[in-house]
Structure 1
């Protein structure tokens, strides 16, 4: 349904480095890099996809209030890798990897605040706890 979305960031270079490290755990790469904006997309996209990707960061005043963005993961291991990479890249914890049964019984997610204070999440809607991660 949504083709692409984006956010404004205070320091484009800082956020580019942050999102490159964090989104690589979910199979994302920089697809387009302009002076004032960077587009991220998956590495497994097909020829019909937008060559700029589906998530953009642009130099500007961060949104107020800050947006929440959830990135889909394909496994619990990806959620854990996202969370760990985000903390190494300077994110602040907003909820470690685990089951969030108040959303649904198979909702496995982790939450962090990015350098501008956006609440970003990796979520896996899979089935059982196949990776041995406990809530």
Structure 2
């Protein structure tokens, strides 16, 4: 079994529009080579995504109350290159997300940082970012 390189087990986001949110994340995360890993909808409305492990969950809140987007919280997904960052951004907008920071360098996060920000269907802030060590990112 491969050792998990992540520092977190998983992150979950609540949704008030489960089927639409799953369709959104199916399209958007596919641009980064991320897909469905686990589907537990026969027990509870939840789908887990990852490359090898179920690291990102989209689900209806377990307590039955409405999902809310948290101020100051965002989830960043690792991209391999600029092209994946741009594909993520375009797929998110096409799937109904709202832009919250176009793809580009973010030198305040580091010289090699290249990313974009989007709001998903429930208003959660999500990001795709690539760490482009050895490249001129700000040009």
TM exceeding 0.5: yes
TM-aligned CA distance change 1:129 to 1:76, over 3 Å: farther
Normalised TM-score (structure 1): 0.85
Name the Cα RMSD after superposition.
1.7
* 2:8 is equivalent to residue 2 of structure 1: yes
Does structure 1 conserve the Cα–Cα contact (< 8 Å) formed by 2:69 and 2:122? no
Does structure 2 conserve the Cα–Cα contact (< 8 Å) formed by 1:99 and 1:107? yes
Correspondence 1:1-135 to 2 at 5 A: 1-35=7-41, 36-42=45-51, 45=52, 50=53, 53-60=54-61, 61-66=66-71, 67-127=73-133, 128-129=135-136
Gaps of 5+ in 1: none
Does structure 1 conserve the Cα–Cα contact (< 8 Å) formed by 2:69 and 2:123? no
1:31 CA drift (Å): 1.3
Tell me how far apart the structure 1 counterparts of residues 118 and 70 of structure 2 sit (CA, whole Å).
16
SS at 1:121's partner residue?
A: strand
1:16 CA drift (Å): 0.2
1:129 CA drift (Å): 4.8
Does structure 1 conserve the Cα–Cα contact (< 8 Å) formed by 2:68 and 2:122? no
Does structure 2 conserve the Cα–Cα contact (< 8 Å) formed by 1:76 and 1:129? no
Gaps of 5+ in 2: 1-6
